[in-house]
Amino acid sequence: MNESAAGIAAAVRAGEVRAADVTEAALARLAALEPKLHAFLHPMPEEAHRAAAALDERRKRGEELGPLAGVPVALKDNLCTRGVPTTCGSRILEGFVPAYDATAVERLQTAGAVIVGKANMDEFAMGSSGENSAFGATHNPWDLECVPGGSSSGSAAAVAAGIVPLALGSDTGGSVRQPGALCGVFAMKPTYGRVSRYGLVAFASSLDQIGPFARTPDDLALCLQAIAGHDARDSTSDPAADRFPAPALGSTPRIGVPFDLIDAGLDPDTRAIAERTLDRFQTMGAELVPATLPRPEHALAAYYLVANAEASANLARYDGVRYGRAAARTSGETLEHFYAATRSAGFGREVKRRIMLGTYALSAGYYDAYYLQAQKARTAIRAELVGQLEQVDAILLPTSPTVAFKLGERTTDPLAMYLSDLFTIPVNLAGLPALSFPAGRGPKTGLPVGMQLIGRPWAEMTLIELSRRAGAEAEWPVLA
């Protein structure tokens, strides 16, 4: 599906194409590519056909259609959808069917989008490669032997492969931006509080934020505006979320660059594209000024303490009693043994690891030494980033230190996997917006490289405009 979301919606509203035909094309491509990509856990052909038919009927009656009329969209499988399984890529939620839609899902439907399926993901959004799904790994459309990034692996792969022009993911430490970079598409983590988290299955509540994937900057803006806004059902939703300030950019925008990060720690392909991107920004008239970021190792340590502690608390609700998968009961078994059996069978290795680390950090005698110190570090990281952004319009750096790596290459080395999110984690700790855009393909591997723009609170449109001025554009992988 090479058409942009904006183009599809305009054609459907004008009656130049039926929403039913657009939906059928998306579902046909999904069916053709799914055996190779494994990007979807729950395709939704019946629901999609009904939604498209309803849109076509409304157009015939002369009703006004929304800004995403007839646009096929994929949803990460941690967004609740009424009457459709929502598993979070985990066996423990196998068979769970929500009775309501997430706010972001409601708003997509109100805008006229047609949801074609629930996308694969790392279990409970815990992972950087797309390999932690209990139902099998997603493959990168650019190289089927490589990871697509995670945890929003299926959403990124679906957009990159041309199945859908838009998708939603969730970003806790880079889980939208990192797969967006590795799959060569636009991906945004909005300001914390911009998009309602109501109906998003929680990983780390103070870090999670729903964000869009797209193939063009304009489509990214269109999707973000459709899902954003204050929501009284979400206590972390900000009243300022309804406002989208216009980009306040002059002819010479100031771009902060942490040159020390670009000069060291990148693979050859990423460094080459990063240097080319700096040249591109200078050519467009930007002033590049040195910037300093919080030490990545400090941000990494603070993130994994905060995120795992919150995950430990959030995932305690999965006990096999109220919903989801339950272990078989045996005669004389205590409730404690039942809980243990349910969680042992239902959770995967990475989720168990993070629950144990988080529980330890919150335990008596260690709370002050670990979790409290991590929160203090988080406050300092936000202050440092916000201070830097007072001097520049945005900060530019690579999204990931490397291009996509081979499937299985890092599964036995959790630390190496965690380092994949080295450049994305500080943004979540600070609650700031960031945009990953496709900057080119590495000269050695031919795989996509993403660059990241970090902005001030509520400055998403500024980041989109900067990527547009830099001439960023997505390419299409060659898929049979």
- Residues marked active site are found at 76, 151, 175
Report the largest interatomic distance among the alpha carbons of the chain, rounded to a whole angstrom.
75
CB-CB contact of 425 with 173 (8 Å):
yes
Angle at 134 between CA 132 and CA 136, to 5 degrees: 75
Enter the tokens of residue 170. 């969730």
Instruction: State which amino acid sits at residue 271.
Output: R
CB-CB contact of 6 with 12 (8 Å):
no
Phi, psi of 45 (to 5 degrees): -65, -45
DSSP class of residue 191 equals P
> Which residues, in sequence order, are CB contacts of 53 under 8 Å at separation 6+?
19, 20
Calculate helix-pair angle for 217-227, 103-110, nearest 10 degrees. Answer: 110
Euclidean distance between the first and the last CA atom of the chain, given in angstroms as a whole number = 14
Write the DSSP assignment of 362-376 as a string of letters: HSTTTIIIIIIHHHH
Instruction: State which amino acid sits at residue 78.
Output: N
Residue whose tokens read 């430990």 = 312
How many angstroms separate the CA atoms of 450 and 38, rounded? 23
Question: Which residues on neighbouring strands pair with residue 219, listed in sequence order?
Answer: none
How many angstroms separate the CA atoms of 203 and 218, rounded? 30
CB-CB contact of 155 with 76 (8 Å):
yes
Q: Helix (H, G, I), strand (E, B), or coil: what is residue 429?
A: helix
How many angstroms separate the CA atoms of 260 and 244, rounded? 33
How many angstroms separate the CA atoms of 464 and 457, rounded? 14
Distance from CA of residue 23 to its chain's centroid?
A: 23
